[in-house]
Structure 1
Amino acid sequence: MNQRDFLTGKSLHAFYIKSFIPHSTYLSNHFTLLYSKFGTFPNALTAFHLTNYPNVFSYNTIIHACAQHSFPHLAYQLFNQIPQPDIVFYNTLIGAYARRGECGLALRVFKEVREVGLELDGSTLSGVISACVEDVGLVRQLHCFALLCGYDCYASVCNAVLACYGRQGQLDEAWRVFREMGDGCRDMVSWNAMIVACGQHREGLEALRLFGEMERMVSWEDDQEWIP
């Protein structure tokens, strides 16, 4: 969407508020999303508060907007208004803290998820690992937890661990994660994380070798898709 689309959407919102059109959560959600995408967070928050019957999409949209515009504490306040949050809501909140590097807050929410008995998924763990990327010791503990509980089958979890080890210069551990993922689990994020890790820590030749290997792998997979 461009600026012209935004102005059109804003005009439609004004018309919606002033007219006698019956209230629609669907429309309110999209106005909240519109303002969030164009960086006008106060308007997004107003649109959310004007939603008479907010649903899952309403809360996820505004919590994501809070994270995007650096209001993690407001995200938590809004989260506490949800009657029975499911794992999707928790993941959205953890993701909000991860984008801000709020390790302590992400861990608090992670602990709460376990206390209320919700089943974790790959997004939960990858989010909290990403939030704690500066604390390699803590990431090691979370990595062990993932291995013990079987969450290492999620590419997102392995990628988050791999990115952390690479960023902190723990190349041996990064390589181990990368190799243990295997071709069936690795995706472009995995390859890029390992290449960046090598490049950042004076392993330029290894980064080039990996890049060539990645290109061959992607080319082979594309060829397989065309096999009748």
Structure 2
Amino acid sequence: MGTTGTAEALTAAGIGAGDEVVVPSYATPDAAEAVRRAGAVPVFADIDPDSLCLDPASVAATLTLRAAAVMPVHLFGRRADLAGLRAVADRRGLLVIEYEPYEPHEPYEPPAATDENARRRRANAAYLNARLRGVVTPAAGPGIEHSYRTYVVRIPGNGRPDRDAFARALRARGVRCHVPVQTPVHRLPAHRRDLWLAETERAADQCLALPADAALTPRELHHVVAVCNALGGLVPEAA
């Protein structure tokens, strides 16, 4: 469901004025906007550092007597911890309404090609996971569902200058990349809140999306690895 459909689902569930819906701040603003369209108030919780999706413990800590629902956002092809979030919601009798955003940097895929493209993306991601050095690759392993709609790594360091310098160096060497979430939603003017979400802020400073889409050739994948590894993960800002 998009923003309009999600707002309608909230309204149909009886959620509206005076109600609060917990959403992630590390995401597009669409989920928060859907809550506002329904007349309710978005409340922001922190994310799990591995999945980059809502953290059940943080959600539990944000709940007030006005809480009516929890809205996990499935991000970059990684699924939120629905079991953990439902456990938190069930203790309070809250609804869980999932939201899967449109990711503007993701190439369009005709429905008939979706399964094959997903297989190729996973293969490309596995190649990058095994070979990239100096960056933190997406968590992978048994029990982790990830389609790698967007391949997001972390550039560790002392904050935004390291990640942004690394991105500029990649682009200068012909590797396309983008910052997947430029500004957490709770710091946008339309949704501004005076709160500190540590993992959200850290992800906003460190995360970078690298190419791993199905159309990449083996040569292009090798180039991504060679350029990233040659930079050594961190690129200090020029004095």
Work out whether the TM-score is over 0.5.
no
In terms of fraction of residues, the more helix-rich structure is 1
TM-score, normalised relative to structure 1? 0.23
**Which protein has the larger Cα radius of gyration, Structure 1 or Structure 2?**
1
Q: Higher RCO, 1 or 2 (CA under 8 Å, sep at least 6)?
A: 2
